[in-house]
Structure 1
């Protein structure tokens, strides 16, 4: 895991406006402290730009990358000091919402690197800031992210309780945000083995994704598109053991661009490679496995390594075959699979 890169954050902010928000350790004698002046629109624009850059970089480079780790740095070193400066009510709500976004991103980076206690800590902070900002969309999204965390690491019952909390504000939340919540609900039901509940939640997620709305969706939910829904649906049906449905959803997800959604595309290819292996199609499993390694080899993500590890475990019984042995050798050289994910205490 890398340390946050200050140059990355400043370049993402596009100039000195965010630099001006940094607390100065030793101001000149008699100088007016920077923290005493009001926060201008230019600073806020730069901050929003930096947050968006961190969000997109996480998807491309993984939670262990310097870019993704910059979320916690932005929150603690830049945004929190700004909250001590003169603020209008609107500006305070805006900064609290930014704090919620950054804490959620920091939690996701922690999840992606196997630091589950840290992830829960950041999600709790994100929920506090979202509620303080009086931002129902963000509140629902943070609860949904926390639900996805508990789903991925074996606690679908706890995830469904968090989903209920997120849906409790549905009347005040954008349809696309609720749609993503229903998608995560489908993932939790799949882990619990409830195919009927999966079908209902997934159908609702699709309907809400297409639902017209009088006001635009938040920028941070722009990743939730039909290809992203299809990618998750492929994994959902893998969990249910439905090979045919998994492969059909996989085809619908093919429009996802690996240069923008690098980790997601690589994870999906690994999931489908595992499904082909279980179905006895070793050739297709290896082909997708190699494509996944091509995409994921530069992504710093323990979660991705765990997906690859599961594929490698399944292939071990075929290692006497030259093609399988070559794949496992490549994996050892380029993408050493991690051990089991850290337990969720």
Structure 2
């Protein structure tokens, strides 16, 4: 209940804030959200529900009439509005739009391994397109496939428990991809919704590894929007699931996501500790055992995250070193290469290496012509801002002209 409550708010509420309202520590809220067993203490449940103003019709128990101390007025109003507008329920029926609409009049059909394999193969194809050309090229196709072909399987189909588990995992992966595509084209709200739906599917089948991947993705998005505390909260939740999964690469990913959140908060010591853990975990990872959906996470990807952390800590020399390493990446990740070149250009700009920064950014702008991604525009616009103090230099003038022609904002 607490997890769903936090993530229905915009911006997402931190565990620390929920804890202050309920008289708990952040660690206690985190443990409650991760607990395998639900809380059965009616006194606690009653108190929490009344503090958070959860309507009784959404609960499995009757609320008492005792008064509780009101929380901060602004937050209190926002919580009331949330339930009025969103109609959120702690005992939600299904998975958001998965459970929407009316039941089909057609008889349920049996789902088998071939159906699951088809979803996975479609996801594999869409993922390759996304990595090369950005989320804008195939997002509509993915959304239509989800709505018309995949969601009906969840609502109407019959299957064995084993196939059901495989089906939920496959749909979670496809939902994750749809979320990243939405995020890539600037639709953060839809992207977040898809990732939450994917997470619920993972939790339904107790897939700790895939759940950790969804939480890490949410942390990544929070960091992109400069929400350091939320990025850390989500990364730490991912870290717990990753440890249970036994996948060292996931432990590495969740640790580096937490590091980026700490960097955004200016917490250098916590950031460096998390980076060290991430590096150790990746060294211990066995690439042969990594699931296909984690195949992108390698040394080059980790180097890019290190570069982000050092740049946000104000250490551009280290940021440059790792940004260069991040370009030692596999083929087929054109958008990622563009991101990493922009990252290198920004680290060079912060050091006053204007000419190389401009030439690197210029190459990235050229690549952007074949990639439909709002994030690429954001990365390149950030480079432009960092070069603003050198705007009278000829290389910067030329770069700004090229960016303007490509509809990339310049200072």
Shift of 1:273: 1.1
> 1:128 maps to which residue?
200
Q: 2:268 aligns with which of 173, 192, 195?
A: 195
SS at match of 1:86: coil
5 Å matches for 1:305-316? 305-316=377-388
Shift of 1:70: 3.4
Q: Is the 8 A contact 2:150 2:171 kept in 1?
A: yes
> 1:17 maps to which residue?
none
Q: Which has the larger radius of gyration?
A: 2
> 1:227 maps to which residue?
300
Shift of 1:43: 3.0
CA distance in structure 1 between the partners assigned to 2:333 and 2:369 by the alignment: 14
Shift of 1:188: 0.8
Shift of 1:268: 1.6
Q: Is the 8 A contact 1:39 1:85 kept in 2?
A: yes
> 2:408 maps to which residue?
337
CA deviation string 1:212-235 (max 9, x = no partner):
559822110000111111112112
CA distance in structure 2 between the partners assigned to 1:306 and 1:81 by the alignment: 36
> 2:370 maps to which residue?
298
CA distance in structure 2 between the partners assigned to 1:205 and 1:231 by the alignment: 13
Query: TM (normalized to structure 1)?
Result: 0.82
Q: Is the 8 A contact 2:354 2:395 kept in 1?
A: no
Query: TM (normalized to structure 2)?
Result: 0.69
Distance 1:180 1:104, change over 3 A: same
The size of the alignment, in residue pairs, is 305
Shift of 1:300: 0.9
CA distance in structure 1 between the partners assigned to 2:270 and 2:370 by the alignment: 37
Distance 1:274 1:77, change over 3 A: same
- Aligned alpha-carbon RMSD (Å): 2.3
Distance 1:291 1:214, change over 3 A: closer
Using CA pairs under 8 Å that are at least 6 residues apart, name the structure with larger relative contact order, 1 or 2. 1
> 2:131 maps to which residue?
59
SS at match of 2:327: helix
Structure 1 unaligned segments of length 5 or more: list them.
1-32, 341-345
> 2:63 maps to which residue?
none
Q: Is the 8 A contact 1:306 1:339 kept in 2?
A: no
Shift of 1:287: 1.3
Q: Is the 8 A contact 1:71 1:103 kept in 2?
A: no
CA deviation string 1:61-88 (max 9, x = no partner):
112222x443333322211112212211
CA distance in structure 1 between the partners assigned to 2:408 and 2:285 by the alignment: 43
- 1:77 correspondence with 2:135: no
